Amino acid sequence: MPRDTVPIPGKIEKIEILSHDGKLDTKLEPKLPDADLRKLFRYMLFTRMLDERCLHLQRQGRIGTYGPCKGQEATPLGVAYHLRKEDWFVPSYRELSGFLWRGWPVDRYMLWWGGHEIGSSIPPEVNDTPICVPIASQVQYAAGIAWGAKLRKDGTVVACFCGDGGTSEGDFHEGMNYATVFKVPLVMIVQNNQWAISVPRHKQTASQTIAQKAVAYGIDAMIVDGNDILAVLVAAKEAIDKARNGGGPTLIEAITYRLSMHTTADDPKKYRSEAEVKSWEAKDPLPRFRDYLRKKKLLDEKIEAVMEEDIRNELDTAVAKYEQYRHDPYAMFDYMYAQMTPELARQKQELKAALGGDVAPQRETARTHG
């Protein structure tokens, strides 16, 4: 028999609508209400300002190690915009704009980075999972949630996020394989921010793109400019609609960049050049979207100044509320298992004796979300 090539189904589309130099593809431009466009910009601005405030709080010793999301505001927000209340949002730890859109209180976000257990408690009536730092472990949770949604036949969609480094983890591949075999309503968004801490993307995988990995799973994929919120909005809508209508999962590779450090525990100047950062600063999603709205006469300096003042006031209130929280030093024992083990109970009493005090009452009880 002669040698032949194997025809492998699948396609990868690439989407960019608003380039970093302001060029707009009007044929692909999403038709959103003016009020929604302004709202999206405010959430992007809120995300940037909250991110900067948390960085300052960390430097002042008022929260713990912090993972900034500067430069990655567009992708989670563009996805969250198209999700329904009953849909699931399964994040990693740079999806702040999506958290805010989904209804997370700002002080709750600060509590998480402040090391308080209550920061992992999902707000009532919000179908999200907590911030997830163990890399790519959330992909398997998302696949399981999506499988449950398919069994219930309730039209629920699950949007899951991880980074480019996460695609090197077995959890990612296991979750994606499961999702495609069982054709579950999952949208997998990979925020390719070019760096897995200090490891560049080209050392993570030999694949030309991350999106092409979807071909091996037997599903379609899209590559989207993750700094172009218009492109994210279009790609997310297509993938979410497909999942909701029984079309199964989609992989979206969002090309973006982490403009700040991985976390406040590392120094990015040791592993990447200033020239590289500068080149990506020119593609910053926030000024790109700002310029787009100004050209449409939906935004000006006066409107933005009012937004900034309102956001500062909200942040001041949130910081004050966060710092009023009374920390329970024994809470770390309470949420490890549904029922505390004898060994943990012994350790809790040992700590109590060492600190010489009673167990402090919590201001709020973390809620088990199921």
Sort residue 172 into left (φ over 0), alpha (ψ -120 to 50) or beta: alpha
Q: Rounded to whole angstroms, how far apart are CA atoms 106 and 327?
A: 18
Residue 226 is encoded by which pair of tokens?
């993750």
Q: Which of 201, 258, 322, 330 is catalytic?
A: 258
Contact 186, 217 (CB under 8 A): no
* Residue 327 falls in the annotated catalytic set: no
Q: Rounded to whole angstroms, how far apart are CA atoms 81 and 236?
A: 9
Contact 81, 35 (CB under 8 A): no
Going through the chain in order, the beta strands assigned E by DSSP cover 12-15, 88-90, 158-163, 186-192, 195-196, 199-200, 221-225, 250-255
Q: Which of 59, 271, 326, 363 is catalytic?
A: 271
How many CB atoms neighbour CB 133 within 10 A? 11
Going through 83-194 in order, the beta strands assigned E by DSSP cover 88-90, 158-163, 186-192
Cα three-residue angle 67-68-74, rounded to 5 degrees: 130
What amino acid occupies position 86?
Answer: E
Q: What is the dihedral of CA 329, 335, 340, 346, to 10 degrees?
A: -20
Q: Rounded to whole angstroms, how far apart are CA atoms 45 and 310?
A: 11
* Residue 258 falls in the annotated catalytic set: yes
Residue closest to 291 by CA, chosen among 228, 216, 212, 359 = 228
Q: Which of 94, 102, 201, 262 is catalytic?
A: 262
Catalytic amino acids? 258, 262, 271
